[in-house]
Amino acid sequence: MVEATQGGGLLSGLRVVECSMLGPGAVSTPLADLGADVIKVEPPSGDYIRAMSWPIVEGRSLLHLHISRGKRSIVLDLRTEDGKAVFLDLVKDADVVVEAMRPGGLDRRGLGYAALREINPKVVMFTISGYGMTGPYRDLPSHGIAYDAWAGTVTPVPGPDGLPTIPDHTSIGITAGPLFGTAAILAAVIRARESGEGCHLEVAQSDAAAAFDWLRSEGHRAYERPADEVTGNPSDGFERRPPGTAGMEEGVRYQFYASKDGHVLFMASEQKFWRNFCAAVGRDDLYEANPGSKLADHARGNLPLRHELAAIFAERTTAEWIELGLSADVPIGPANTPASIAHDPQFADRMPWQPAARLVADQLPFPVRVVGEAPPAAALPAPEPGEHTEEILRDVLGYDAARLTALRASGALGS
């Protein structure tokens, strides 16, 4: 296993003060991976993310180990005046304050954007929540799958006794929301450093799930227009196929096929790739009988051809088909699963595990890197509640021993 090493610190010098509960704290995880100093402010009881979901690795959830990696933790009781004062001291020289909880949580404590900009006009405040700061669902409690269900990216399937069940699926909202947010945060910081003026950003994880799935929703929207204005593709005789991947069910030249030891995805929708494939497998007759259109032709509905291709693909292993794709310039890809992808040679080359020896659980690296360097990697494992309290107060804020003793006595640092 190749171990990723800490990257060049693209965001060294960026300080983020984060108040988060559960998954929305992922908005600052990429920032920490890229070298930002992310200070996680926790209540005396701590963020209960450590006990949520599964698996539990050495007593802490993988959810916490992943989302909170690379961050430092300080415990502050923001119900106390001293706790609020310390929080404001942290904000004075911070670039970003993240509010990753229901909207208005900081404002109810007198620490909303209006209060923060008084002490730091350049601060960028970022609020990430389930359904956003506006709308009828604003105060509706929710968890991660809710945003995918709301956006229509996951739908019920039959379960035990025919009851509707949540299927295995990619969690979009809780991942897309933070990634959209990260991009906006950095854009706002750039503007703040140039103009001297910060701003308050917000994103709903539900909105992000819908935006991530734009092709299907925009496709349905387009089909609401008259048929003489919005058609299908010329290769399908302009027939309106269902939007997105739903229109791929009857595809033939763009389809899954069983290999000798698994499955591959065949993607010869361009005529040149289809010709290359037929020549490479010694079946020019298939091309001559079914040349198709130059672009975007899936030979949709051609079941005899689909059965011919099924027999051909069953003759070789997935690895052999990938090799043919490389040598003959044919788009063929392996069909992995979350359990099997770690054994894929492309994965091994591009996504070296951040090892459990450093982060308690093996974790994937941040996927963008500086060319020629290892992927950015978190230097610290996810913290225990308040693990870095004294370190932050002493090294970041310059508090002396007497101030620390007074804060402990006042309850500002919890019990």
Confidence check: pLDDT of 401 > 90: yes
Predicted pLDDT of residue 102:
79
The pLDDT, as a whole number, for residue 178 is 93
Q: Which helix (H) or strand (E) holds 4?
A: none
pLDDT tens for 179-201 read 999 999 999 999 999 999 999 99
Question: pLDDT band at residue 248, thresholds of 50, 70 and 90?
Answer: confident
Question: Which tens digit of pLDDT belongs to each residue from 307-332?
Answer: 999 999 999 999 999 999 999 999 99
Q: Which residue has the tokens 């079941």?
A: 303
- Cα(97)–Cα(278) distance, integer angstroms: 57
Q: Over range 44-50, report the average pLDDT.
A: 91
- Average pLDDT value for residue range 3-10: 55
283, burial (CB in 10 Å: exposed 0-12, middle 13-18, buried 19+): middle
Q: Which CATH superfamily is domain 248-335 in?
A: formyl-coa transferase, domain 3 (3.30.1540.10)
Buried b / exposed e across 355-370, counting CB within 10 Å, b at 16+?
beebbbbbbebbeebe
**Tokens standing for 331?**
């788009």
Beta-strand pair 164-165/157-158: antiparallel
Q: Which of the listed CATH numbers 3.30.590.20, 3.40.50.10540, 3.90.1720.10, 3.20.20.30 matches domain 15-211+351-410?
A: 3.40.50.10540
- Residues 366-382 have pLDDT tens digits of 998 888 888 888 889 99
Give the span between the Cα atoms of 222 and 236, in whole angstroms: 17
Confidence of residue 111 (pLDDT cuts 50, 70, 90): very high
Q: What is the pTM of this model?
A: 0.89
C-alpha atoms less than 13 angstroms from C-alpha of 362 in its C-beta half-sphere: 7
Domain locations along the chain: 15-211+351-410, 248-335
Instruction: Give dist(CA 5, CA 227) in Å, integer.
Output: 55
Q: Report the distance separating Cα 117 and Cα 268, nearest Å.
A: 55
pLDDT in tens, 274-289: 999 999 999 999 999 9
| 78 pLDDT higher than 80 | yes
Q: What is the mean pLDDT of the chain?
A: 92
- The closest alpha carbon to 333, from 313, 307, 354, 349, belongs to 313
- pLDDT bracket for residue 4 (50, 70, 90): very low
2-11, 120-129, 202-211, 344-353, range with the lowest pLDDT:
2-11
Beta carbons within 10 angstroms of residue 13's beta carbon: 10
What was the pLDDT predicted at 247? 81
Please check whether residue 122 is in contact with residue 197, taking contact to mean a CB–CB distance below 8 angstroms.
yes
Average pLDDT of the residues in 241-256: 88
Q: What is the pLDDT of residues 20-34, one digit of tens each?
A: 988 889 999 999 999
**How far apart (Å, rounded) are the C-alpha atoms in residues 68 and 380?**
9
Tokens at residue 318, please?
């997935």
pLDDT above 70: percentage of residues in the chain: 98
At residue 53 the predicted structure's pLDDT band, cuts being 50, 70 and 90, is: confident
Query: What's the CA gap between 311 and 180, in Å, rounded?
Result: 43
The residue type at 359: L
**pLDDT, tens only, 137-164:** 998 988 889 899 999 999 999 999 998 9
Sign (positive or negative) of CA dihedral 252, 153, 163, 54: positive
pLDDT of residue 2: 36
